[in-house]
Every structure is written in structure tokens, then in C-alpha cells.
Amino acid sequence: MDIQGIEGGIGITKAFPELGAAKAAGPADGAGKFFSELVSKVNDLQIQSDKSIQSLASGENKNLHEVMISMEKASISFQFMSSVRNKALEAYQEVMRMQV
């Protein structure tokens, strides 16, 4: 019996299209690449948010709403990454509890 994954462009691929279905050598490689790209994307959003806060504080940027939007993007992406990590850990723990 052959089990196939869901590859219809639903879920995470719509939120982060650049993290789409990774065609790697194996599932572990694909998962590792997915998580590294996710962490990289979240880090980039955090850095962008910090830069916009600094530009607002220094007076270069006068658009408070743009700063708040970048801060919320960074916050939501971090919360998403945390929930993905928690679900992956729960799945791993469930697999480890299985009796062979």
C-alpha cells in the first residue's frame, strides 16, 4: 500500500509559498529544509520589524501604522512557527510512545 502526501497547495504553502513542497532525498531532509526555511523567514521578519522600530524612534519614518503592521507580521509568524514546532514535538513523542 502506497501512502501519498497532500500536495494541493493548501495550508502552509498558501501562507509561505516559498516553503512549498520540498523535493528532497527523504522525509527527514524535507522536514529539515522546511524548518530551516521557516526559521529563516521568521528571523527576516523579526529583523525587518526591528529596523522599522529603529527608524520610527530616530524620526526617519513617520508612519506608525506601517511599524505596527511589521511588528504584527513578525509576532504572528513567530507564533505560527512555535505552534508548528509544538505539533512536531507532539507527533514525535506520540511516535516514541508507540509499542513495536
Q: What is the pLDDT of residues 44-98, one digit of tens each?
A: 999 999 999 999 999 888 889 999 999 999 999 999 999 999 999 999 999 999 9
Greatest CA span in the chain, whole angstroms? 63
Q: Which of 42, 46, 20, 43 is nearest to 33 (CA)?
A: 20
Half-sphere exposure in the Cβ direction for 33 (13 Å, CA) = 13
Cell of 65: 501604522
pLDDT tens, residue by residue, 5-52: 555 555 555 556 665 555 545 777 788 898 899 999 999 999 999 999
Q: Where are the domains of the chain?
A: 26-97
Residue 70 vs residues 8, 51, 97: alpha-carbon distances, Å: 29, 10, 41
Q: What is the pTM of this model?
A: 0.66
Confidence (pLDDT) at 13:
59
The DSSP call for residue 59 is T
Confidence (pLDDT) at 24:
44
